[in-house]
Chain A
């Protein structure tokens, strides 16, 4: 009991420390994102943002206010949703953010002839401007707890023609959390496995196997839960169009973020980028 209490206290202390350091945008950038090679340069070049995720406004950042949507045909857009998550109060959406997004774009633009905005672009699900970006990426949805306006915003977004890419959540508990949330959006749409004969696996690269992509430091034991196997699942709309793709028990985002790190296995980063390119080419044409 006492050990449990100690653990609880240490956890509370650690949490307090994290939250304190995350109170200002600068501290978040310095402590969280400057470690990988090249990240510092990218942050210097990055346009200013309204704010960073913080205790006060955990869903704070959004795209560069000086950027008029539409200048580029493509903006890699990250969904900001309510939840708890492991990155502090309600910041599970911000996992790997913004370095993962920026680095993904750098590589993606080399692979695909894509005229894309160079920087990250995080938008709240209940923000009407989301409808200007027909592809949105939601990460660590195992910590998702959408508000009703977010549920409605996402439903309208998908109904209007938007496409949701879900990534980086593991195990049954997190699946249940995500399923609960997505059921609030689409109560009756079945979630089905996307088998390897689906055109999404050949939209750009020919992918012959669904791999379990590990987080950084977990190359030896990719699974973050016992016995987890990777799945690619999806939700179709009434017209039979794929509108949600779910990468479960895998972490494409970490592979994108750490691809330049020599410790990260090339096999997984290659697969992650191939899958990323395929999802985007497919979602931009279907």
Chain B
């Protein structure tokens, strides 16, 4: 299309975009218009006078064609031209930025690797393109991947970069060439940026300096056939023995409808395998896989799909995720308002779980409490905690059948803050003293609940219903509801469990809450919400509206060897304490980096009431894989209360242990440990297809052009016309455009043809 345009209009479209249109005739345009008007009038008059056989319409058509012909001639006589600013040859520089990352070695469908274009056009002495560029500009070569820098010639490229950072490449080239007249930058890449640095910040200075970027996109826009493991949703820390349900996004092209195995490995040992059915080409599917991690400490969990026959890229079939398996005993407070069998059976269910300490406080009479599994005689000595320090020692709180009026206003607010500020887990159980029946409406805790409370029933005997529990679609994949069976058997397992009972009619959840179990029964007018949860502030709240889950253990229909009740409660409590923050908590901005990459360590520091502390002395002790210990001070960021940060650069390959300690006035506020894994990255093989959109955007926003290897031949001339630097003004004649000549011929031919048809010749 561009060639046709150039044939008709003598110059490529870019010239017309860049140039200013003008007329070069010696007389003024107005005079020419008057002459043209007179000539046109004479023409029309001559056709009006000479009648012959012609009709009025015939004369009108012929006069019109002749006037148009005259108009074209007048335009030519006006000497139209383009005023163009072009760069002065050999007085300007062009920066050529070449992608030096691993993805440039990927082969296209024709078998040629992406870098073959670079070898042919930029590294070869026989390259016509390079010759044309060299003739016009002084060339400066850059390579870029995760870092960018000058090179003398493209032959120095090794294609070993494990990241691609387009923004950084543009920044480096612009800064390096800031002192010379720069006509533009040429960027040769597949555009697969995997460092996610915002481009806009790098494009604005280029726009301001008027430096256009010409992008040449190499590689295919779609790699087919290929399977790629995408995002993996997995917590960074789990309690030992917890069931993990992990979502893995799988994208593919060319394997529509086929099934592939998804394998999970922990230290080279297969711990789970799932068969995944792939969807339509290009559409990602989310595979959900369950497994448990045994043994305490940091782990690398690998997910992979074995290479499939004919697959183009194999290295994007596997991903690893760093996770810390914690062995602590998580302390959970269960406050029950009256003797109930839930206490007995919940304790039995988690008794063998070494990671859970279920502290029970059971009110047995007014102001009389039974304390179980407390650490010492002073714990909960006076009943339910009355201070934040006392309550916040626990990572989760379970409230049984206890009416709201038992608590003081401060205690109710404290429970709400326990979730929102401390980030603890709150589980509310059904019972006569729970929810609306326990007078919880209008309290601070009602807001925290994931369910909507309605007024209690008028019936003096109260509401009572038997409930058949069934998992919702969301519940079918939630670890707390899986009951230790395969996903396709979860519903069946729940169906096999006996009915339970409720005295709290609850049929609505709050906006944003998720229902995992629902219930139905003869005495229920609406579907009962049995298990629902929501995030609230830093923590989460869960409502289990039944009152006798112990029937899942005790009922005659449940075989003695059935472990559903035990698994349910173990997973429930593990879920409850999962992700509950410590007063001092350290986290790195990335869980895996390459040796030499900078890492940001962020630490949140609070006191025993979880109030942010800004005047703490925070130290990070970093132990490298070979045991080299380095202590780094971590400074308050000022931007956020209680947030401290430090940047460091791990140089060794392997696992770094980072222990952060916070002190204030000599008193230890707390400490936390986190891990960082350093290893060469496979990022370059993920999402490695050409990003045409990104490259077009760079070109469009800077006034450059986007090319593919097929249409790159016009690049030297385009830079000459559009580039910045030292320029001169060129005037390009347009009167001899073939298009005008064709117009003349067309109008003349049209009149002749018209006359022939109408028999006027």
Contacts and interface: CB of A to CB of B under 8 A. Distances in A.
B755 interface: no
Contacts of A113: 337-339, 363-366
A130 B364 CA distance: 25
A131 B556 contact: yes
B189 interface: no
A117 B547 CA distance: 15
Contacts of A73: 338-341, 401, 431-432, 547-548
Nearest to B461: A71
Contacts of B343: 284-285
Interface stretch (B72-80, B345-353, B585-593): B345-353
A5 interface: no
B464 A71 contact: yes
A68 B464 contact: yes
B464 to A, nearest CB: 5
A79 to B, nearest CB: 15
Nearest to A110: B365
Interface string A172-192: 000000000000000000000
A42 interface: no
Q: Which residue, of A115, A241, A280, has the highest number of chain B Cβ atoms within 10 A?
A: A115
Interface in A123-151: 128-132, 134
Contacts of B363: 113
B252 interface: no
A160 B345 CA distance: 10
B364 A204 contact: yes
Contact of A284 (B344, B351, B553): B344
B435 to A, nearest CB: 16
Interface residues of B, number: 40
Q: What are the nearest 6 A-B pairs in CB distance?
A: A128-B556, A70-B501, A131-B556, A284-B339, A285-B343, A73-B340
Contact of B560 (A74, A134, A160, A286): A160
Q: Which residue, of B339, B344, B431, has the highest number of chain A Cβ atoms within 10 A?
A: B339
A156 interface: yes
B103 interface: no
A160 B553 CA distance: 7
Interface residues of A, number: 31
Given A281-B339, A284-B343, A284-B344, A162 B554 contact: yes
Interface string B553-565: 1111110100000
A281 B551 contact: no
B372 interface: yes
Interface of A: 68, 70-71, 73-74, 111-115, 128-132, 134, 156, 159-162, 203-204, 239, 241, 280-281, 283-286
A273 B230 CA distance: 66
Interface in B521-573: 547-548, 550-551, 553-558, 560
Given A68-B464, A68-B466, A239-B351, A285 B338 contact: no
A77 to B, nearest CB: 12
A204 B547 contact: no
Q: Which residue, of A73, A131, A159, A204, has the highest number of chain B Cβ atoms within 10 A?
A: A73
A113 B362 CA distance: 10
A74 B343 CA distance: 13
A283 B364 CA distance: 13
Contacts of A71: 461, 464, 501, 503
A73 B551 CA distance: 12
B705 to A, nearest CB: 76
B185 interface: no
B344 A131 contact: no
B551 A284 contact: no
A159 B500 CA distance: 20
B687 to A, nearest CB: 53
B347 A286 contact: yes
B68 interface: no
A114 B338 contact: yes
B365 A111 contact: yes
Contact of A281 (B348, B370, B501): B370
Given A113-B364, A134-B344, A204-B370, 20 more contacts: A71-B464, A73-B341, A73-B401, A113-B338, A130-B556, A131-B554, A131-B555, A132-B551, A134-B345, A134-B550, A159-B560, A160-B553, A160-B554, A161-B348, A161-B553, A241-B348, A284-B343, A285-B344, A285-B370, A286-B347
Contacts of A160: 553-554, 558, 560
B167 interface: no
B360 interface: yes
Q: Which residue, of A113, A156, A239, has the highest number of chain B Cβ atoms within 10 A?
A: A113
B340 A284 contact: yes
A285 B339 contact: yes
Interface string B354-380: 000000101111101010100000000
Contact of B372 (A129, A239, A285): A285
A74 B364 CA distance: 13
Nearest to B551: A132
B539 to A, nearest CB: 27
Given A73-B547, A111-B365, A112-B364, A284 B556 contact: no
A163 to B, nearest CB: 8
B348 A285 contact: no
A230 B590 CA distance: 69
A283 B501 CA distance: 21
A115 B432 contact: yes
Q: Which residue, of B338, B362, B366, has the highest number of chain A Cβ atoms within 10 A?
A: B338
A213 B567 CA distance: 43
A227 B388 CA distance: 58
Contacts of A161: 344-345, 348, 550, 553-554
Contacts of A130: 556
A285 B401 CA distance: 14
14 contacts: A70-B464, A70-B466, A112-B365, A115-B338, A130-B556, A132-B554, A159-B560, A160-B553, A160-B554, A160-B558, A161-B345, A281-B364, A285-B339, A285-B347
B411 to A, nearest CB: 19
A70 B550 CA distance: 11
A112 B259 CA distance: 61
A73 B339 CA distance: 8
Nearest to B546: A70
B550 A112 contact: no
B365 A132 contact: no
A134 B554 contact: yes
B553 A286 contact: no
A198 B728 CA distance: 103
A283 B401 CA distance: 18
A241 B344 CA distance: 11
B28 to A, nearest CB: 103
Contact of B344 (A112, A114, A286): A286
B681 to A, nearest CB: 49
B555 A132 contact: yes
A35 to B, nearest CB: 32
A200 to B, nearest CB: 12
B629 to A, nearest CB: 45
A9 B547 CA distance: 56
A284 B556 CA distance: 19
Contacts of B556: 128-131, 156
Nearest to B346: A285
B553 A114 contact: no
Contacts of B351: 239
Nearest to B431: A73
Given A113-B363, A285-B370, A280 B339 contact: yes
B187 to A, nearest CB: 69
A159 B559 CA distance: 10
A156 B339 contact: no
Nearest to B363: A113
B646 to A, nearest CB: 49
Contacts of A281: 339, 364, 370
Q: Which residue, of B341, B363, B431, B555, has the highest number of chain A Cβ atoms within 10 A?
A: B341
Contacts of A128: 556-557
Contacts of A70: 464, 466, 500-501, 547-548, 551
